[in-house]
Amino acid sequence: MGADVFVPFTFFAFLGAVILVPIWLKERTRQSTLRLVEQALEKGQSIDPEVLRQLTSPQGRVRPDRARSTLGSGVVLLGLALGFTAGSFMLGGIDDPVRGMLVPAAILGALGIAFILLAIVDYSSKAKGE
């Protein structure tokens, strides 16, 4: 097996592992929790409804301040975009910025702006709801 096959295979295997292993671990934890609840009910033990709701909720825990974490993600992504932009001008000079570094800067900048807009929507909907 040459490098022309091994390198893409390794990349996609790594990508699959990064995506699938956390999903598998989360499902395994959920199954373990459900088995624990089932065993407690079989033994006749009572379970507090609040504890049962927390154990069986789909996400396990609810993030209390989603808007704040979304805003933080947006700021970090905009910072990365500015870093890529500055790096491209430092490597290529003012006359010819390295075009390969401006592409990820544009993508990260667009994602950062989208996260900041989402945070604004979350803050406004939170203010209306309270």
In this prediction, residues 26-35 reach a mean pLDDT of 86
Quick check: 121 and 71 in contact, CB under 8 A?
A: no
In this prediction, residues 103-117 reach a mean pLDDT of 92
**Can you give the pLDDT at residue 124?**
87
What is the C-alpha to C-alpha distance for residues 98 and 67, in angstroms, rounded to an integer? 35
**Can you give the pLDDT at residue 10?**
87
**Can you give the pLDDT at residue 75?**
94
pTM to 2 decimal places? 0.53
In this prediction, residues 38-63 reach a mean pLDDT of 75
Quick check: 118 and 127 in contact, CB under 8 A?
A: no
Record the tokens describing residue 22, joined without a space. 């956390």
In this prediction, residues 81-90 reach a mean pLDDT of 87
Is the confidence at residue 43, as pLDDT, over 70?
yes
Domains of the chain, by residue range, sit at 1-61, 63-130
Better-scored residue on pLDDT, 100 or 86? 86
**Can you give the pLDDT at residue 48?**
80
**Can you give the pLDDT at residue 129?**
67
What is the C-alpha to C-alpha distance for residues 55 and 2, in angstroms, rounded to an integer? 49
